[in-house]
Structure formats: C-alpha cells, structure tokens
Amino acid sequence: MAGELIPQFEAAIVEGISAVLGDTNTGLTGSQIGERLREVRVRDVDPKNTKWNRLYNALAHRQNQDQAGNCVVAFVIAAMKPVRFRNDPARFTYLQDGLNEVLIHAHGGLRVNNKGQVAKVKAGAAETLDEAAARTGSIRTVLRRRSIHPEVVRYCTDELLARNKFPCRT
C-alpha cells in the first residue's frame, strides 16, 4: 500500500480504528496519540476530547482535507510498529486483533500483519460480523460475539492473546 493513493475510509471504519487505538484500558495513551499524530503529520484538531474522539476527529479532518485515506493507514502503521510493544507483545496482538476486526470491512479487505503493516487480504472484504470474526481468526472476537462471561475471558486473557491452544488456567 506504500506509495499509492488510498481511497478515503468510510466514517464507520475510521471510528472503529479510533475506538480500538483510543480505548481507555487497552489503547494508546493520550500522549502516545499526540506523538503518533505528530509523527505522521496529522494536526490534532481536538486535543481536549476523549482519546478515541480526538483521534477520530484528527484522522477524519485530515482524510477529508486530502481526499485520501493515506493518513489513516500511516497512523495505524506508526501506532503498530512492533518495536513499540517489545515489553508487552500480548498488547500488540490485542490491538492487532481489534484493528483487523475493523479493517477486514475496508477497501476489499485489509489487515494489520505481524510486521505492523497494513496489507490487503486475498479473500476480500467481510460483509457480516460473523464473517469478519471467522476471517480474522480472533478467539477474543468469537468469545465476545457469543456473550461469554467477562470473568472467563479475564482468566484466559494471556492464553487467548498468545493464541494458545491449551486450556485456560483458573
């Protein structure tokens, strides 16, 4: 995707990306959002808002200004550089899964790969939530869609994020 003009993303896709990366518990910190926005030269148009709204407003504003989605992809790549997660690789996997649940619906199907890059998927875009969950291979997504009790997920978090096939410990 590098070097090509990327079509604008639908507002729902930018919102989903912002919700994942701006999540209070698992996303970027406020200062990390500011640093990544500066890194990709996107103006922080609403720095006093909540993290995900701040990120959404900055990316949507720049995307509309450029009439292209390159700034959105650049931000995801900057945020997902694997070296940034050297002390917490499970967090990389968690954010990767969340982003992939959103990106699978965009531009014929996209994903964040293990190198932190945004790449096209061969099978094309997902049209339903079930299809997105199945195609992204996220155990966390499947459990959430099946309304598994949060305590079960909490006790199994490390194994789920590591994609461990062995049973969870309690």
Q: Are 55 and 24 in contact (CB under 8 A)?
A: no
Predicted model pTM: 0.78
DSSP string of 80-111, one letter each residue: T-GGGGTT-HHHHHHHHHHHHHHHTTSTT-EE
E strands in the chain: 110-112, 118-120
3-12, 100-109, 124-133, range with greatest mean pLDDT: 3-12
Report how far residue 125's alpha carbon sits from residue 93's, in angstroms, rounded to the nearest whole number: 21
What are the tens digits of pLDDT across the range 22-64?
998 889 999 999 999 999 999 999 989 999 999 999 999 999 9
Determine the longest span between alpha carbons in the chain, in angstroms. 51
Report how far residue 46's alpha carbon sits from residue 23's, in angstroms, rounded to the nearest whole number: 17
20-34, 85-99, 124-138, 146-160, range with greatest mean pLDDT: 20-34
